[in-house]
Amino acid sequence: MIRRLMAWLRPPVESTPPAPAAVSPRDIGLVDATLDGWFNNATGELLKGFAIGANDTLLDVGCGEGVATLFGMRQGASVIFTDSEYDKVRDLARQVGRHARSTATPFLGLVSNSLPLPLADGCADKIVCMEVLEHVDQPAPFMAELVRMGRPGAQYLLSVPAPVGERLQQGIAPPAYFQAPNHVQVFDAEQFAALVEDAGLVIEHRQASGFFWVMGMIFFWASERAAGRILEGAVRDRIQAPYPPLMQSWASAWQALLSQPDGLAIKQVLDGFMPKSQVIIARKPDPCAEAPS
């Protein structure tokens, strides 16, 4: 009886709620990108205004992990992908090959620094070169190669880091981030547009976004410095799971912001204030289409 009374008087033991699952910066970055018009499977648009179809041949220069290539394959396009790093091309070729075996979609992977590209003139309808030009010592000849690859009327999707985010990181990132094989060029909006137009392309659309990733990179650098790690090689290969706690906390905060009623409007203001990337969609002139009937 006494034992039952003591048990009744003893305060209940509260179970500790499970810790919330860590939020992946890459997953939140993907959500953020789709809000900007990227990766619309329903319309086949890699970015709004840049649709890829089954009749297209997509050339992805500096393919990296192959986000654009894999999107194009899902739309039924033939794909050509290139990178200067063998491992990147090999790993992407394995993924593309598995898809191609079930769909009989043609593909070609090449290891190349793109000066020159070992491809025939006019081999592609859609050319993608994202976050590559900032790594290139000679961007004008590189752009000329991209233009050579496009058929008349071909469409181009090009992106480079925005200058405001780069200049902010110059005060935080180690000097190696602005040396080869990392960023050796910083383009302001006018320089980027001039590079595209001087190569002979006509600009159709421009946008800038990615505040989430500017802040994410700041937290990455802070974590690297706190851990005493020395930067070597390509930075993009270092930003992988498991992510530093600071980056995961930032991803959780950004996820919470986007879930607010005014979250998208706030995101758009911040993107305009401090974007990570600037994007140009351009087209190669087609003399036949422009000729009077």
In 3D space, the residue among 127, 120, 150, 122 whose CA is nearest the CA of residue 58 turns out to be 127
What's the token pair of residue 114?
């793109």
Mean per-residue pLDDT, 195-205: 98
Could you give phi then psi for residue 27, rounded to 5 degrees? -65, -45
The confidence score (pLDDT) of residue 204 equals 98
What's the token pair of residue 123?
């081999």
Rounded to two decimals, the pTM is 0.89
279 or 170: which leads in pLDDT: 279
User: Would you say residue 222 has pLDDT above 70?
Assistant: yes
Domains of the chain: 43-210+276-285 (3.40.50.150)
How many residues does this entry show for the chain? Answer: 293
SS (H, E, C) 82-94: EECCHHHHHHHHH
Q: What is the mean pLDDT of the chain?
A: 90
The 10s digit of each residue's pLDDT in 98-143 is 988 878 889 999 999 888 999 999 999 999 999 999 999 999 999 9
SS (H, E, C) the chain: CHHHHHHHHCCCCCCCCCCCCCCCHHHHHHHHHHHCCEEECCCCEEECCEECCCCCEEEEECCCCCHHHHHHHHCCCEEEEEECCHHHHHHHHHHHHHHHHHHCCCEEEEECCCCCCCCCCCCEEEEEEECCHHHCCCHHHHHHHHHHHEEEEEEEEEEEECHHHHHHHHCCCCHHHHCCCCCCCCCCHHHHHHHHHHCCCEEEEEEEECHHHHHHHHHHHHHHHHHCCCCCCCHHHCCCCCCCHHHHHHHHHHHHHHCCCCHHHHHHHHHHHCCCEEEEEEECCCHHHHCCC
284 or 170: which leads in pLDDT: 284
Query: 67-74 and 86-103 are packed helices; what angle lies between their axes, rounded to 10 degrees?
Result: 10
User: Would you say residue 243 has pLDDT above 80?
Assistant: yes
d(Cα 35, Cα 258) in Å, to the nearest integer?
10
The 10s digit of each residue's pLDDT in 59-88 is 999 999 999 999 999 999 999 999 999 999
Residue type at 114? S
Residue 4, number of CB atoms within 10 A of its CB = 8
The confidence score (pLDDT) of residue 240 equals 83
Contacts of 219 (CB under 8 A, 6+ apart): 244, 246, 247, 249, 250
Lowest mean pLDDT among 223-237, 254-268, 279-293: 223-237
The 10s digit of each residue's pLDDT in 16-63 is 544 456 789 999 999 999 999 999 999 999 999 999 999 999 999 999
Contacts of 188 (CB under 8 A, 6+ apart): 163
What's the token pair of residue 155?
């469409």
